Amino acid sequence: MTTPDLLYSEVEEDLRASVRALLADRCPPAAVLARAEGPAPYDGKLWHALARELGAAGLQVPEEHGGAGATLRETAVVLEELGRAAAPTPFLGSAVLATTALLACAGGAELLAELAAGERTAALAVPLAAAPGTGFPWAGLPQTVRADGAGALTGRVAAVADAAAADVLLVPAAGPDGPGLYAVEADAAGLAVAPRTSLDLTRPLADLALHGVPARRLAGPAEAPAAVERALLTGAGLLASEQLGIAEWCLATTTAYLKERRQFGRPVGSFQAVKHRLADLWLEAAGARAAARGAADALARGAEDAPLAVAVAQAYCGDAAVRAAEECVQLHGGIGMTWEHPAHLYLKRAKADQIALGTPGRHRAALAVLADLPAPTG
């Protein structure tokens, strides 16, 4: 077992600083809130700046495919910052899930280059709640899409993240000769993308209905299942970094508020009952950072124990982010309950993220196998 590198390199810190500066400028909480109920869930200009000017969309893509030739570690740093800002961008859906799936298919080079350059965005047509290891096409889930002999797709996929903003959908479907991964243009005939009212105001979901939609097959039975699994595993592992960013914002914001807010003639943050809760949150955030870095590093190295590192990170960080966001609301008192204060953006993102790509309980169940801690029989 190699010891993971759990720190941030200088390059990673520089990248963080650029992303943070961009988000502070373009994506302050008031702007996020204003957009949340508007017609356009994503800020196109912000995405343009992030994906194209900073090159964030192509971080994990090799240079020969038009990317930056960095690794998933850098990609994770971007997600941390996006979590810290509760930023409404299709980064997870396009730059992580769809891009990872494409990287594992020989057939998607052209689209990959477009995504890496931030010229187009894509979404992987799987339910956001799908966990790695779910099987293909998602065993146990009602939604399946079938491809006919001509490659036209019919079926439904519910609750897909970042689909409404996508130019292209990558649809896993059962074809005549087995599973495949298909590319569908967003404006293709027979495709209906119906936005849902989602709990997370900053990551909209949509239901897809396909009726004989023309599609291009990117991968067949030999590649497609592994490509989708790789995308789900990577997505789950890197989501831990987003969850870390959420927890950190909540802790920092709450700590700063309680240093200022006075009741009973002293700062509320000087009361021990409150201090101890913040100390526990700090400890959890430190754990979340180590676990999230561990997962990102294992994925970046292609480590053999990457599935275990991902399961550990997801089993831990999902709950840590929710707890931090819940404490943030509680320890702000009445103001924490208002629509105006951004705390709820983080609470909603944290709660949705806890379900996204597998609940903590599902990841613990995966560990029963990965860490050889078998369940009782009978």
Partner 1 sequence: MTTTAKGTAPAGGTGPAVTAEDVRRRVRALLDAHGTADRTAFLRARFDAGLAWVHFPEGLGGLGAPRGLQAVADAELAAAGAPDNNPRANGIGLGMAAPTLLRFGTPEQQARFLRPLWTGEETWCQLFSEPGAGSDLAALGTRAVLDGDTWTVDGQKVWTSGAHTARWAILVARTDPDAPKHRGITYFVCDMTDPGVEVRPLRQITGEAEFNEVFLTGVRIPDAHRIGEAGDGWRVAQTTLNNERVAIGGQRTPREGGMIGTVAATWRDRPELRTHDLHQRLLHGWVEAEVARLTGERLRQQLAVGQPGPEGAAMKLAFARLAQHLSGLEVELLGEEGLGYGDWTMVRPDHVDFLGRDAGYRYLRAKGNSIEGGTSEILRNIIAERVLGLPAEPRTDKDVPWKELPR
Binding region for partner 1 (CB under 8 A): 1, 3-7, 255, 258-259, 266-267, 269-272, 275-276, 278-280, 282-283, 286-291, 293-294, 312, 315-316, 364-365, 367-368, 371-377
Residue 239: both structure tokens together: 């989501």
When the beta carbons of 150 and 273 are compared against partner 1, the nearer one is 273
Q: Letter for the amino acid at 104?
A: A
- Cβ of residue 275: shortest distance to partner 1, in angstroms? 4
When the beta carbons of 4 and 90 are compared against partner 1, the nearer one is 4
Q: How many other C-beta atoms are found inside a 10 Å radius of the C-beta of residue 111?
A: 22
- Cβ of residue 294: shortest distance to partner 1, in angstroms? 5
When the beta carbons of 202 and 314 are compared against partner 1, the nearer one is 314
Cα-Cα end-to-end distance for the chain: 34
When the beta carbons of 8 and 138 are compared against partner 1, the nearer one is 8
- Cβ of residue 147: shortest distance to partner 1, in angstroms? 38
ω before 62 within 30° of 0 (cis)? no
Cβ–Cβ < 8 Å for 325, 350: yes
Maximum Cα–Cα distance for the chain, whole Å? 75
- Cβ of residue 298: shortest distance to partner 1, in angstroms? 11
- Cβ of residue 74: shortest distance to partner 1, in angstroms? 18
- Cβ of residue 310: shortest distance to partner 1, in angstroms? 12
When the beta carbons of 171 and 331 are compared against partner 1, the nearer one is 331
Name the one residue in this structure whose structure tokens are 């030999």: 222
Strands 168-175 and 122-124: parallel
- Cβ of residue 316: shortest distance to partner 1, in angstroms? 5
When the beta carbons of 197 and 377 are compared against partner 1, the nearer one is 377
- Cβ of residue 253: shortest distance to partner 1, in angstroms? 12
Rg (CA), the chain: 21
- Cβ of residue 205: shortest distance to partner 1, in angstroms? 28
Which neighbouring-strand residues pair with 169? 123, 184
Half-sphere exposure of residue 100: CA atoms within 13 angstroms, side-chain side: 26
When the beta carbons of 130 and 315 are compared against partner 1, the nearer one is 315
**Helix-helix angle 72-85:224-260, to 10 degrees:** 40
Residue 170: both structure tokens together: 């990558």
- Cβ of residue 343: shortest distance to partner 1, in angstroms? 18
When the beta carbons of 16 and 364 are compared against partner 1, the nearer one is 364
Residue 152: both structure tokens together: 């036209």
Between CA 238 and CA 102 the distance in angstroms is 17
When the beta carbons of 177 and 280 are compared against partner 1, the nearer one is 280
Between CA 208 and CA 192 the distance in angstroms is 6
Cβ-based neighbours of 170, under 8 Å, separated by 6 or more: 98, 101, 102, 122, 123, 124, 125, 181, 182, 183, 184, 218
- Of 325, 366, 331, the closest CA to residue 236 belongs to 366
Between CA 79 and CA 320 the distance in angstroms is 16
When the beta carbons of 48 and 276 are compared against partner 1, the nearer one is 276
Q: Letter for the amino acid at 127?
A: P
